[in-house]
């Protein structure tokens, strides 16, 4: 008998669902148009892999937060969610370079700022005394 809780309990099933979901969402708009672009496709897959791992770890951290309710886990969950945003920004910049720049600021700098924010939030979570 299928129970939705079993998805959360089995990390391998959850990881398979996350990989399938991320690739299904990104296949048509990003992966398929660049399928014959060689190294460019490898760069795109690097960021797709980063998004996949970030989503998986965010889901795990969120589940752990709802079970234990510590601020340390909340900060970790928010940090990994910020890393999802950073990877999405860097994927957009990799796929369509300089198309979505924010005025004088290139989009890859926004990705770097979000990555730095992720590291700061993780550091706050690690050094926090609950």
Q: What's the pLDDT score for residue 111? A: 95
Q: Report the number of distinct structural domains present in the chain.
A: 1
> In which domain, by residue range, is 71 found?
5-127
Quick one: which H or E segment has residue 107?
A: helix 107-127
Determine the average pLDDT of the residues in 101-130. Answer: 91
**What are the residues whose beta carbons fall under 8 Å from the beta carbon of 15, sequence distance 6 or more?**
56
pLDDT digits (tens, 9 = 90+) for 13-71: 999 999 999 999 999 999 999 999 889 999 999 999 999 999 999 999 999 999 999 99
Q: Which residue has the higher pLDDT, 96 or 121?
A: 121
> What's this model's pTM, rounded to 2 decimal places?
0.91
Q: What's the pLDDT score for residue 2? A: 62
- The answer to whether 63 and 46 have CB atoms below 8 angstroms apart is no
């Amino acid at each position: 008998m299928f129970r939705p809780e079993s998805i959360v309990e089995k990390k391998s099933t959850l990881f398979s669902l996350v990989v399938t979901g991320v690739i299904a969402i990104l296949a048509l708009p990003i992966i398929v148009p660049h399928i014959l672009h060689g190294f460019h496709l490898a760069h795109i897959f690097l960021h797709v892999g980063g998004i996949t791992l970030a989503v998986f770890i965010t889901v795990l951290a969120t589940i752990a937060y709802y079970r234990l309710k510590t601020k340390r886990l909340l900060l970790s969950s928010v940090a990994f969610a910020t890393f999802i945003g950073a990877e999405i920004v860097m994927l957009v910049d990799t796929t369509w370079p300089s198309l979505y720049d924010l005025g004088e600021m290139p989009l890859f700098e926004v990705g770097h700022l979000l990555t730095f924010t992720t590291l700061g939030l993780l550091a706050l979570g690690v050094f926090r005394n609950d």
